[in-house]
Structure 1
Amino acid sequence: MKKLTTFLLSGVLLFGAAACTDASKTAADAPNTTEASPTAPDAEAAKDAKEDAQSQVRRDQLNSDIRAREERNNALNQGAAQGRDEDNVASEVRSKLEANLPASALVVDAEDNGVVVVSGTVPTKEQFDKIEPLAKQIKGVTTVQVKATVAQAKPEDSNKKAQ
């Protein structure tokens, strides 16, 4: 029984370590790093991401996540914005962008001293212009470097449908 417990715990820890990534992404097809070249998502993926982001349940989940992280920060750091964990800041910014920029494919990376780098694609110039103000709403974010581009979703290749 002890061997089985040890095996299961080590498996969970290994899976958890493998599943962790450095950057927070707003969509599965977002770039893996802020240095990667962004490409426009396909139309179907953009439509699905937009529908998911606009659902009230998903928006409630994202806002709840932001509130919980803010409350944890307030409890642990006496409300201080400085010295926040970079992963928490990146995750909060990702949640904020995901909730407010439907059909975007963004990746967020937080660095020291409140610097946040956002890269990927958004479908419109209006959404592009919202990235910095939305990110700055998160406690601890002082500077936002926007490396994202405006790119409409690519329609599916009509040749694929004919096959």
Structure 2
Amino acid sequence: MNKFIPLIISGVIAVGAFGCETPSKTSADAPSGTNENVNAPTQDTAQKTQEDATGQVRKDQIESDIRAREQRNNATGGDAKRSDNDLKSEVRGKLEANLPASQLTVDAKEGAVTVAGTVPTQEQLNKIPTLAQEIKGVKSVKVNAKVAPAKP
């Protein structure tokens, strides 16, 4: 009985942590999920998101995250099989660094990445699959994002 109670508690904690997984977002105003309907951001929101994404502190954070993931991946032999959380985070960082003023949500499951939200131009929308495929371990990319220039 003494061994059974910790087993139950750890099982509840594990289920709770797994059930609370959320997609990675490029901005605070990005959709909460990849199936959520999205609207164009306001001009102020788009400007703030772009400033956040292109700021030197944020660029340094993204570069540091990418280096840490590469080192961790190389330490494990450079396997192409990556955890869903690593894929979400790395794809989100790649998109955030390369698509300023975007409001994207990234989800991943077994190498299949789904990206939803808005980007200000068609050119940025077209870049999403290419940028996501550059991440080791991404097997497929589904883009549910749309072009939505900022509203004045």
Q: 1:64 maps to what in 2?
A: 64
Q: 2:107 maps to what in 1?
A: 109
Which among 86, 89, 92 is matched to residue 88 of structure 1?
Answer: 86
**Matching of residue 74 in structure 1 with residue 69 in structure 2:** no
Cα drift, residue 71 of structure 1: 1.4
Q: 1:55 maps to what in 2?
A: 55
Q: 2:8 maps to what in 1?
A: none
Cα drift, residue 66 of structure 1: 1.3
CA distance in 1, matches of 2:150, 2:25: 17
Cα drift, residue 142 of structure 1: 1.8
CA distance in 1, matches of 2:59, 2:130: 18
Q: 1:39 maps to what in 2?
A: 39
Measured against aligned partners, the alpha-carbon deviations of 1:9-56 in whole angstroms (never above 9, x if no partner) come to xxxxxxxx6xx6410000111100001011111111110111121223
CA distance in 2, matches of 1:91, 1:136: 14
Say whether the 8 Å CA contact 1:81–1:140 is kept in structure 2. yes
Sequence identity (%)? 58
Task: Return the TM-score normalized by structure 1.
Answer: 0.78
Task: Return the TM-score normalized by structure 2.
Answer: 0.83
Letter in 1 for 2:132: A
**Matching of residue 119 in structure 1 with residue 99 in structure 2:** no
Give unmatched runs, 5+ long, in structure 1: 1-16, 156-163
Q: 2:95 maps to what in 1?
A: 97
CA distance in 1, matches of 2:21, 2:150: 25
Letter in 1 for 2:103: A
CA distance in 2, matches of 1:88, 1:69: 8
- More helix, by proportion: 1
Letter in 1 for 2:120: P
Cα drift, residue 136 of structure 1: 0.9
Letter in 2 for 1:58: R
CA distance in 1, matches of 2:119, 2:98: 11
Superposition RMSD in Å: 1.5
Distance 1:21 1:40, change over 3 A: farther
CA distance in 2, matches of 1:127, 1:134: 10
